[in-house]
Structure 1
Amino acid sequence: MNSDIRQLEPTALWNHFSDLNAVPRPSKKEERVIQFMVDFGNKLNLETIVDSVGNVIIKKQATKGFENKKAIVMQSHLDMVHQKNSDTVFDFDNQGIKMLIEDGWVTADGTTLGADNGLGVAAIMAVLSSTTISHPEIEALFTIDEETGMTGAMGLKGGLLEGEILLNLDTEEDDEIDMGCAGGVDVTAKKTYKEENIPDKTIAFNIAITGLQGGHSGMDIHKGLGNANKIMNRLLYSGFEHFGLRISQVNGGSLRNAIPRESFATFIIDEISKEPFLFEIDALIETIKKEYKTTEPNLSIEVSSADIPNNVMGLQAQEGFIKSIYGALNGVYKMSADMEDLVETSNNIAKVVVKEGTIQIDCLTRSSSESSKYDLANSLRSTFELAGFEVSYSGSYPGWEPNVDSEILKVLTHLYEHLFQEKPNVVACHAGLECGILGQNYPNMDMISFGPTITGAHSPDEKVNIASVQKFWKFLLKILENIPEKTS
């Protein structure tokens, strides 16, 4: 499968992407990919640095005739989101991604592809390894842990970089030039509860929610996609209200930055309620499927008999849990008043785990407004604390404030119009890019972001358009040729 990818144009980029995707690179476990990049830089005899947190910096001198151009930083992140379909057997810690071509797109076999942000990394590698591409002095910055905390960008010290312009290659629409992004904060609610013995004359069931699209919890949050945790909670609430359903365990979602695609629960009800319960739950399932028939045509909700579990949640804890999930906002909280169709503030109820006397609920709250970000975070905190949870904030990072007077923005806009005979969409996005964080230690660096068209990021449906990669590469090479001169 991967050999076909290597034949695609531009071959240098696709070959580097294939090499990169052979290296396991989950967030927080980037040791192998860091070494991979160090070996790459050393093989080219380029100055290669690993900073104190694990970011890799590779420096390359300007090509002849470009010495008077402003030095640039080309930046992408090394880690990728690891998600797979429940029926896919795959070991992310030890296997390389299995890629294939489908109808003009590159995708993966039942897992995330790693195009986010592996294609940006591969493009930079292709520039660094080329002997024919014209460019100014380059500092290639490969950050770690972008997907689960942005600790690489946060840990990058001031003074390591000298570039005046930063090209971030981490956006996902080839007709967009990004000049701003949202910040975020992790909201975590935890609670312990007393387990109770199983009452007599009860039966057990499992519910499995699968087949949802999932996706990026920033870029896709406004699309009305199903959240497996909210759907599961709706089913549990109904069973609790009408039939005294008692929860044994729940396991839904995985990563904060991925809209949850799957959720699984085990519970009991009284034997006498079996038939009416199944009748009503089937009716509710059909209602939910009808509501999501357009956005989630592959939604599957299966109810099956299960072995009687050892314990269930105490009633008071269960009521607080179910009602707090119902009350907690998921999705768009506020749209931007300044930029059309831009989500300003949102929340993703990303992961819900109930097991063996503990509950943990993981959310990711995003906003391009710091005040609005914490307004929503405080709303979530209030909802969960009313149900007896302990709530903490962590991993907060700032947004990237748009600069409409950016010199590099003007360069890219002009080049795009000249190359493609149309105007680009100059936007700010609801994803978390590293530019805002990097700008804290490099406040005078002029930053811009662009990339090829990627859909389904953070889900096993992730894919990248082949023609879009060719367009992105053409655009990147023209940008490198047209970096402004140094100011005297």
Structure 2
Amino acid sequence: MNKAIAQLEPRSVWTNFSKLNAVPRPSKKEERVIAFMMDFGSTLGFETLKDEVGNVIIRKPASPGFENRKMITLQSHLDMVHQKNSDTEFNFDTQGIQMRLEGDWVKANGTTLGADNGMGVATIMALLESKDIAHPPLEALFTIDEETGMTGAFGLKGGILKGEILLNLDTEEDDEIDIGCAGGVDVTAKRSYNEKSSVHGDIGFEIKVSGLKGGHSGMDIHKGFGNANKIMNRLLFAGLSYNMRIAALEGGSLRNAIPRESHAVININKSQKISFLAAFDKVVSEIKAELRFVEKELKVSIEPRKTSKKVMGLGAQGKLLKGIYAAHNGVYKMSTSIPGLVETSNNVAKVKVGNGEIHIGCLTRSSVETGKMDLAQALKATFELAGFEVNFSGSYPGWNPNPNSEILKITKKVYTDLFSVEPRVVACHAGLECGILGQNYPEMDMVSFGPTIHGAHSPDERVSVSSVQKFWKFLLEILKEIPSK
């Protein structure tokens, strides 16, 4: 445990965050953190149960004088995005997160921090183990696999939860109260290709794109950050005029993270080396100029390597590069009902080429269900024209805003009274579990809020210490204001 971080205030929150981050918990591999949370609840002597998909529920009776208040369901997810810098040696399956304190920010050493959504989990843990905090009956819901499919929320059956109000602690700006979010769908394109033998006289090169900011493919999609897959595709497309042949290509790793790095292995005819490298440098300069204000650390390298024996056929290669070039990436449409909200977007998240197989993975988001599927169909048409088979999977609904929510009125008043300014009431372009949970619990009143977290889903992820203090103060006051049954 990092002692400096564990001693930050509120100490109970940071101590629990440190304990949580010592437990490996990448998405779809939550067995250890589920056991950790079950042991935590049982040790406190509270009703603790695990549902059939692995969600953990812990219930704590009300503090004296609050027995007749409505039960609150506090909800956060146990899993975390596992991203690291290419030069960082780290195994998310076996190692705990290595944290450090820099001024007002807690960060990790070359990996994601897990503040998304570990700060929410740690905050709920602090409330459960507290002995001197006034609160109504509490029901803690710790869901699994939020980051790669929301299967925990989908798998939670109706009738299990007892709370009347749900506080989701999974947003990333401490002056916001969220009342809506986007839905999403995975768009996956696959095809095979025939490998060809390299041509006599070819020489090999290795291309790397790195140093991009990456980030959350929902919350950061409007910021104009570079997408490593689209940048690499642009570089390779320029090589078509020089008989360039792709041997292997891989970029991005997670559907919900803007890809930060891409790597390609190519052959080029030795006679065209000089003209190819000149054209390559020209495109690199153009890209860097376009992104100079948002991607100051962008690096593009090309180095000689051993000539690859097998490469893509020209037909499949051309369709691959044209398909990715045509595939929309970034903001597709802004909301006409909520100013400043991204309505629909797409992230070209993963590209992998090798051994005769191509795999392209996208995550399409929208706060409008028909808009989500409209863009998904546009991507499907694009890739089918390039000879791919396209499938939709992992579709999840958005969360429709309720501006007349009782808990919204309470949280707005508490925030304004505490901080002498009104909070921003927003809908976000990320995927929150509220929309899914609301399908089986339609009468449950919901809002979402959290501390300030920057760079989520990237190794630049960091959480503000002062913001956590503000968030904690806000939450404790909300609990005092929960109405009677």
TM-score tier after normalising by the smaller chain length: over 0.9
Give SS of 1:216's match: coil
Equivalent position of 1:416 in the other structure: 415
Equivalent position of 1:95 in the other structure: 95
User: What is the TM-score normalised by the length of structure 2?
Assistant: 1.00
User: What is the TM-score normalised by the length of structure 1?
Assistant: 0.99
Equivalent position of 2:405 in the other structure: 406
**1:484 & 1:301 partners in 2: Cα distance?**
57
Counterpart amino acid of residue 193 in structure 2: Y
Give SS of 1:222's match: helix
**1:279 & 1:315 partners in 2: Cα distance?**
22
Equivalent position of 2:336 in the other structure: 337
Equivalent position of 1:440 in the other structure: 439
**1:67 & 1:309 partners in 2: Cα distance?**
71
How many angstroms does 1:244 deviate by?
1.4
How many angstroms does 1:485 deviate by?
1.4
Give SS of 1:301's match: strand
**2:483 & 2:112 partners in 1: Cα distance?**
37
How many angstroms does 1:228 deviate by?
0.1
Counterpart amino acid of residue 470 in structure 1: Q
**1:424-483 Cα shifts (integer Å, max 9, x gaps):** 010000000000000000000000000000000000000000000000000000011111
Counterpart amino acid of residue 250 in structure 1: L
How many angstroms does 1:287 deviate by?
1.3
Equivalent position of 1:114 in the other structure: 114
Give SS of 2:247's match: strand
**1:227 & 1:320 partners in 2: Cα distance?**
20
Equivalent position of 2:425 in the other structure: 426
Equivalent position of 2:134 in the other structure: 134
Counterpart amino acid of residue 104 in structure 2: G
**1:215 & 1:247 partners in 2: Cα distance?**
28
How many angstroms does 1:38 deviate by?
0.3
Q: For structure 1, which segment, 275-284 or 463-472, has the greater mean C-alpha deviation from structure 2 after superposition? A: 275-284
**1:355 & 1:481 partners in 2: Cα distance?**
58
**1:301-341 Cα shifts (integer Å, max 9, x gaps):** 00100111121011111111000000000000110000010
* Aligned Cα root-mean-square deviation (Å): 0.6
Runs of 4+ in 1 over 2 A off after TM superposition: none
Equivalent position of 2:7 in the other structure: 7
**2:279 & 2:233 partners in 1: Cα distance?**
15
Equivalent position of 2:469 in the other structure: 470
Contiguous gaps of at least 5 residues in structure 1 = none
The correspondence of residues 49-448 of structure 1 with structure 2, limited to 5 A, is 49-240=49-240, 242-448=241-447
**2:2 & 2:205 partners in 1: Cα distance?**
42
Give SS of 1:27's match: coil
How many angstroms does 1:224 deviate by?
0.3
Counterpart amino acid of residue 482 in structure 1: E
Give SS of 2:154's match: helix
How many angstroms does 1:369 deviate by?
0.5
Equivalent position of 1:46 in the other structure: 46
**1:128-165 Cα shifts (integer Å, max 9, x gaps):** 00011111111100000000000000000000011100
Equivalent position of 1:480 in the other structure: 479
**2:276 & 2:194 partners in 1: Cα distance?**
26
Paired residues in the alignment total 485
**1:6-30 Cα shifts (integer Å, max 9, x gaps):** 1100000000000000000000000
**1:363-418 Cα shifts (integer Å, max 9, x gaps):** 00000000000000000000000111000000000000000100000000000000
